[in-house]
Amino acid sequence: MHSRTVRGAVAVACALLLSAPAVADEDPEIRRSPVVSLAPGESDRVREGKAARVVPSATQLMWQRQQLTAFVHFTTRTFVDKPQPDGRLSPTVFNPSDLDTDQWARVLRAGGYRHVVLTVKHGDGFLLYPSAYSTYSVARSPYRNGKGDVLREFTDSMRRAGLSVGFYFSPPNRHELNVERSRWKKGYPRYGYSEVKGNRACPVPERRAPGRPSFTFRTDEYNCLFLRQLYEIFTQYGPVSEWWLDEYVTSHTPRNDSRDAFVPPPGVTGDPTQRFDTTAWWSLAEALQPGIPVFNGWGLRWVGNEQGFARVGGEWSTIAVRNQPGTGVPQFTAGAPGDRETWDGATHLVWMPTEVDVPMSAGGNWSWNPGEQQKSPEQLWHIYVASVGRNANLLLNFGPDRSGRIPEDQEERALGLRQRISRVFGNDVAGTARTSVSADGRIIERRLARPTTFNWIGLREDVARHGQRVESYRIEAWDSRQGSWRRLTTTTWNEKGRVIPDIDARIGFQRYQHLEEPTTTRRVRVVVTESRREPHVSALTLHRD
């Protein structure tokens, strides 16, 4: 085996820097980019080369490095025992007795979080800031006598603690649908009847601050309202590292959703469907917050469940789509996201890492509920290794209670999870062991100074420079008694906590794999068996639980 050898430094910082190309670049004419176009009739070999050139943008890479992120659900639903998601709750129910966003920041930072997403507007339409375009907000609540701005308190507290912020700002607005009926034109409300379009200013001229840009969009009234509110949150609250979209993203037809219970008023006919002008949204977001990753839009991909588990074998970040990036919403091709069979019928390959959202609540609720239990420490550990350990970011939800503080049981869970993560993955038991890489990049070996016992493997690819390439591999330990390499069996957990076989497939930004049995050896290696062009594994670390 022709090899090059380096000496590791410290634990995971021994991110080996094995990323220098081992062989000549096979596709120098294809520019590395978060978006690579495909042409009809291309061979699988050509498309493989293009897939190897898809890399994250700077903001996507920054987002992936966070790995563990916090979700905070705090809205009118927190303050009632039987939440109404239809937008009919009075804003007067929102009245935290001791709101302390600094406490949120302390708890989350102590729990190892560096990024926090707040529900600025859920599907009921209630806003946590005083908007110039809606009365359904904290401005009509008793909180601080109607002078409060929860979003301002949140962003200020998080930034003081060194945390980046994301905004959950979802398209549906059931308050507009079911309550706000004073803006009808010709008998129709502005939400649900989106055929009438016109040129509309964003923001309205009298609301534009000196030096701020203005825009004109040809769109309907509700999309105009949504754009103007986006303008508010993207210009008044500083840098935003993630925009989180939920529920309906292309359109919302109330009769298809039992939560709406929409009854058209007298004289209003037709089946209301609100179509969302996502192309206008993306252009505004990019203009005001350049490079912002959009969850459920262009930038970040939903895992597909709310149990906290990514795909066994790991997720792909290189995803095939069949429409122009930046227009509409991503249209994924058939098949498991990222697999080769999804290239058929695709027009582009895009970098779109996975986010796994899950409530801490054992009952699956997102907002705080009195007396509700939290998931056990073991459940949260399984969720962490089944998300972050499968090349996805984990978005774990916290629900502040009616005082406006994160309860002690949630704080204890957060601290416990961080301690276990640090205990297991914060130390590479291989220490400064030598690392060698074969000339073709397919065999990565660490030689330890003495026999060492471990039961976890950590792997990374150099996605920043070379994207995600590895499709399958095997992990082997040297058996000194037999004088040969022995393949190690890996296991994982399913949603019910049962041990199941793992699959040695995708790696990406981060992969953690649990060994069926603890192994003691002086040599361990990873052999890449399938890859999209030459692999660039940048870290092989060993851990013990």
The answer to whether residues 535 and 542 touch, using CB atoms and an 8 Å cutoff, is no
* pLDDT score recorded for residue 185: 52
pLDDT tens readout for residues 156-172: 999 999 999 999 999 99
- Percent of the chain whose pLDDT exceeds 90: 80
pLDDT tens readout for residues 325-380: 999 889 998 888 999 999 999 999 999 999 999 999 999 999 999 999 999 999 99
Which residue type is seen at 192? G
Which residue type is seen at 264? P
Judged by DSSP in three states, 112 sits in coil
Contacts of 433 (CB under 8 A, 6+ apart): 8, 14, 446, 447, 448, 449
Reply yes or no on whether the pLDDT at 140 is more than 70. Answer: yes
The answer to whether residues 159 and 238 touch, using CB atoms and an 8 Å cutoff, is yes
Judged by DSSP in three states, 462 sits in coil
* pLDDT score recorded for residue 7: 33
Give 84 or 321, the one with higher predicted confidence. Answer: 321
Q: Give the whole-angstrom CA distance, residue 538 versus residue 238.
A: 34
The answer to whether residues 110 and 160 touch, using CB atoms and an 8 Å cutoff, is no
Contacts of 408 (CB under 8 A, 6+ apart): none
Residues present in the chain in total = 545
What's the average model confidence in pLDDT over 482-503?
97
Q: Give the whole-angstrom CA distance, residue 380 versus residue 413.
A: 8
| Of residues 538, 467, 533, the one with CA closest to residue 33 | 467
CA 65 centroid distance within chain: 11
pLDDT tens readout for residues 1-43: 343 333 333 333 333 444 334 444 566 667 899 999 999 999 9
* pLDDT score recorded for residue 292: 98
Q: pLDDT-derived band of residue 429, with 50, 70 and 90 as boundaries?
A: very high
What's the average model confidence in pLDDT over 290-314?
96
The residue ranges of every structural domain in the chain are 3-30+427-543, 67-301+355-381+394-424
Task: Please report, for the chain, how many H helices and E strands are present, in that order.
Answer: 10, 24
- At the topology level of CATH, where does 3-30+427-543 sit? Jelly Rolls (2.60.120)
468-488: b or e for each residue (b if 16 or more CB lie within 10 Å)? bbbbebebbbbeeeeeebeeb
DSSP 385: H
Reply yes or no on whether the pLDDT at 144 is more than 70. Answer: yes
What's the average model confidence in pLDDT over 445-453?
96
pLDDT tens readout for residues 117-132: 999 999 999 999 999 9
Reply yes or no on whether the pLDDT at 422 is more than 80. Answer: yes
Q: pLDDT-derived band of residue 191, with 50, 70 and 90 as boundaries?
A: confident
Q: Give the whole-angstrom CA distance, residue 217 versus residue 297.
A: 19
Sign of CA dihedral 526, 531, 533, 536: negative
Specify the CATH number of the domain 67-301+355-381+394-424.
Answer: 3.20.20.80
